[in-house]
């Protein structure tokens, strides 16, 4: 499917497929490949100024970084997702970013920040 979207020059289709691949690879534990897919998707979503796509990619990158113990990078990605989602009408992305960021803050001992986000 990705090759078809590339052949057609459909960048949004490419970004959406890459995001879904990244999510599936994250769920199966292939974190390096998942991060590559999601970072590529994020770049395309940024080029297209697609805020929902950006927050989806960033939230999933944050989960990967949390699951691999890179809490600083997880917080960075999730804070960016949170900031973008605050400017859109997508409440699910906002809730996800807050939930995931709260979990990172809890894991790093920032209990006040975790309570606020959660």
Task: Using alpha carbons, select from 6, 3, 35 the residue that is nearest to residue 22.
Answer: 35
**Residue 89: its pLDDT value, please?**
75
| pLDDT tens figures, 64-104 | 999 999 999 999 999 999 999 998 877 898 999 999 999 99
**Residue 87: its pLDDT value, please?**
85
| pLDDT tens figures, 26-67 | 999 999 999 999 999 999 999 999 999 999 999 999 999 999
Fold of 2-117: 1.25.40
Rounded Cα gap, residues 34 and 14, in angstroms: 15
Measured from the Cβ of residue 51, the count of other Cβ atoms closer than 10 Å reads: 18
- % the chain with pLDDT above 70: 100
């Amino acid at each position: 499917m990705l090759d078809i979207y590339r052949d057609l020059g459909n960048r949004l289709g490419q970004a959406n497929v890459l995001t879904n691949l990244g999510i599936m690879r994250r769920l199966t534990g292939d974190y390096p490949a998942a991060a590559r897919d999601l970072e590529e998707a994020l770049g395309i979503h940024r080029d297209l100024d697609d805020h929902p796509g950006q927050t989806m990619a960033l939230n999933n990158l944050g989960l990967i970084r949390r699951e691999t113990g890179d809490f600083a990078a997880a917080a960075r990605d999730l804070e960016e997702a949170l900031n973008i989602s605050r400017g859109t009408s997508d409440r699910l992305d906002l809730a996800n970013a807050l939930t995931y960021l709260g979990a990172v803050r809890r894991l790093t001992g920032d209990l006040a920040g975790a309570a606020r986000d959660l």
